[in-house]
Chains A and B, each alone.
Chain A
Amino acid sequence: DADVTQTPRNRITKTGKRIMLECSQTKGHDRMYWYRQDPGLGLQLIYYSFDVKDINKGEISDGYSVSRQAQAKFSLSLESAIPNQTALYFCATSDGPRTGGADTQYFGPGTRLTVL
């Protein structure tokens, strides 16, 4: 079974609808992240959480919100979806920095969201 799972894998919705993307992990990691990927723009950080009580905005948080329901679950919401939020969304987890270095992130398979 995959360590990081995302649901749904694909979603088509209409402008103005509320959408929730879910992420679950079985790696036991404290840190979880949500990224957005657009062609040619790489990975842009939306929100991240270093533990259950910690939520932080990333580079492009406007129009998004998150909820860290448990150590293993981190959901991303689009309160009122708009077409330019059409993108590939990735969840990632990490266990914090190893001594002297950065933590290594493990990615889920992604959710392809289309907003019409």
Chain B
Amino acid sequence: GQQLNQSPQSMFIQEGEDVSMNCTSSSIFNTWLWYKQEPGEGPVLLIALYKAGELTSNGRLTAQFGITRKDSFLNISASIPSDVGIYFCAGSWWGDKIIFGKGTRLHILP
């Protein structure tokens, strides 16, 4: 079945640094989604991508849908303490079930 590889598994960065994480798929998706989960909460949608090559921003967050349709990345610029959490990528093909990556846990050092 389809698998998503999300990396890195965890990150420790200094406040103010930029962050980059990515997901690769064993097969093609036509939708990529990025979610953030904060402690004690459910995942919340950050960015949705529906077209190969699409680059979308949401504040300090930028995500891109890879040209091959098998990958996506999420960048966070100038990280702040409230960026701490687990970031999940997710993909699907034409309305089929969404497949989630295993998450990237972001830690920010003071």
Chain B positions 26-50 with a Cβ under 8 Å from a chain A Cβ = 30-31, 33, 35, 40-45, 48, 50
**Known contacts A100-B30, A100-B50, A102-B31: A107-B44 contact under CB 8 Å:** yes
What's the Cα separation between A100 and B65 when bound, in Å?
15
Count of chain A residues with Cβ under 8 Å from any Cβ of B?
24
What are 13 pairs between A and B in contact, CB < 8 Å? A4-B42, A45-B97, A92-B42, A101-B50, A102-B93, A102-B96, A103-B92, A104-B45, A105-B45, A107-B43, A108-B42, A109-B42, A110-B41
Collect the chain A residues with CB atoms within 8 Å of residue B33's CB: 102, 104
**A102 and B102 form a contact (CB under 8 A):** no
What residue in chain B is nearest A6 (Cβ atoms)? B42
* CA of A91 to CA of B83, assembled, Å: 24
- Also in contact, A42 and B88, with CB within 8 A (given A101-B50, A104-B33): yes
